Each structure stands twice: as C-alpha cells, then as structure tokens.
Amino acid sequence: MRFYGTELSSRLMLGTAQYDSPAILADAVRAANAGVVTVSLRREAAGAQAGQAFWSLIRDLGVPVLPNTAGCHGVREAVTTAQMAREVFGTDWIKLEVIGQGDLLQPDVFGLVEATRILTDDGFKVFPYTTEDLVVAERLLRAGAEVLMPWGAPIGSGRGLNNIFGLRALRAHYPDIPMVIDAGIGRPSHASAAFELGFDAVLINTAVAKAGDPVLMAKAFRLACEAGLAGRDADPMEERDMAVPSTPTLGLARGLGGEMI
C-alpha cells in the first residue's frame, strides 16, 4: 500500500484520541500493527507539557503520523491548522477535515475542495475526509488530492458502511485512486467488508478506543482487515438468487419411483 509514494507496513490506520491512558493507546497501536496513526493538532497543543509527552509517545511508536484538521468548520481555519501541524509534526501529510454540519459531522464538500486546492498548492499531500459522491471526488482529484477518504457513516456512529451502492460506485469509477474508508466503522466485520468492496485501507478510532478492551479490539480489527483483503484477493463467488447444491446429485441412490433417497 502506497500513499503519495510512501509504502506502508499495514492497511489499518488508527486514531489516537479518546483512550483512557497513554499505555493503552500504545498497546492498541502495537496490537493493530497500525501502518499510520492520526493525530489532531488540538490534542498535541492541549497543554505545553502534556502535548510534549503525547508527541514523545507517538514518536516512540515508530509509526508514520498523519496530522488532521479535526474540528475545523471553515476553509481558513482548516488551512491555518494544517500549516501549524506541518511545523509541529514535521510532515507535509494532512488529513483534511472541513466540517459543514454539526449533528452528523458531515463534510462541507465545497470548502473541502477549496482547502484541498490551497493546501496542494502549498506543497501538502492532502487526505480529504469526504462523502461517497462521485462529483465531489472528481473535484477533489482536480484540486490535487491523490488519495480519497470517503466516510462509511458519521464520525463515531459505529454504523459501518451506510451506502454500499454509493461506495461500490465510487470504487468502480476510480479504480486506481487509493481510497481509505474513514469514519463510522464500529465492528471488525465492517472493516472486512470495506476491503471486500475493494477499498485500500481503513481508519478507525472510536471503535477501538472506547471498546471494553481496546487492545483486544485492535487485534480483532487487524485480523479482520487481513481476512477482508485475503477474501477479496481470492476472487469470491458471485451471489445467486437460487440455491445450488454443494453435494453432487449424480450417483445418489434413488427409490423405485426415481426419487432420491
């Protein structure tokens, strides 16, 4: 798996918010074998001393960092946050969030396209958090994005993949664009389904951080991602409307009237 030319060790990306302790976070990242961790600038800057301790923890994990503009509701705010994140984390990668609706935390796709263009022109490698809309995807790619992060469901909802038809259409329309299912995944089976649909990676935070056992859940997601990817590569059978017997009927014993016994 490559994003902007960088090869990742795993297709599972893990958020770092909401964990009960730094130790649990570190253990979960290791159990997930995460290829990337996402970090909010607000979390890093929550306090000078606390922020430095958190950043030291992330560095010690040895996992590539994807800063994000979580909580930004406008283009200027998102761009400024991205520029600050580049200075703090020393990377030109940015997960771009421009939130347009508060209840569902739905992306403002108009602001998202504008911010993507501005940041791309400024040298950023943008990972836009978007919807499954084909037109929006086209605008984001024209604006310079080389990766798309469509939502599965609203952030933190745990509902899984809400619009299978739309996600399948997006994947089919842009088969060569790296795509990450971001937001809404609540169970390992949801992650497996994302890979079976053809997506390249998944980003998970709340489903691991708020599980009863985050470390065990992180391991479960790792295994589910591996299973979904292997299942896709194995070329699964097509669905059928009618039953097809798995046991051959040729050679079965039959009664005098010709019925099978």
Q: Which residues are catalytic?
A: 95
Please state the three-class secondary structure of 44-76 as a single string: HCCCHHHHHHHHHHHHHHCCCEEEECCCCCCHH
Residues 261, 251: Cα–Cα separation, whole Å: 11
Q: Exposure pattern of 116-145 as b/e (b: 16+ CB <10 Å)?
A: bbbbbeeebbbbbbbbbbeebbebbbebbb
Residues 186, 26: Cα–Cα separation, whole Å: 20
Residues 250, 59: Cα–Cα separation, whole Å: 64
Q: Exposure pattern of 33-46 as b/e (b: 16+ CB <10 Å)?
A: bbbbbbbbbbbbbe
Residues 6+ apart with CB under 8 A from 144: 116, 117, 119, 120, 121, 126
Beta bridge partners of 107: 99
Residues 6+ apart with CB under 8 A from 101: 108
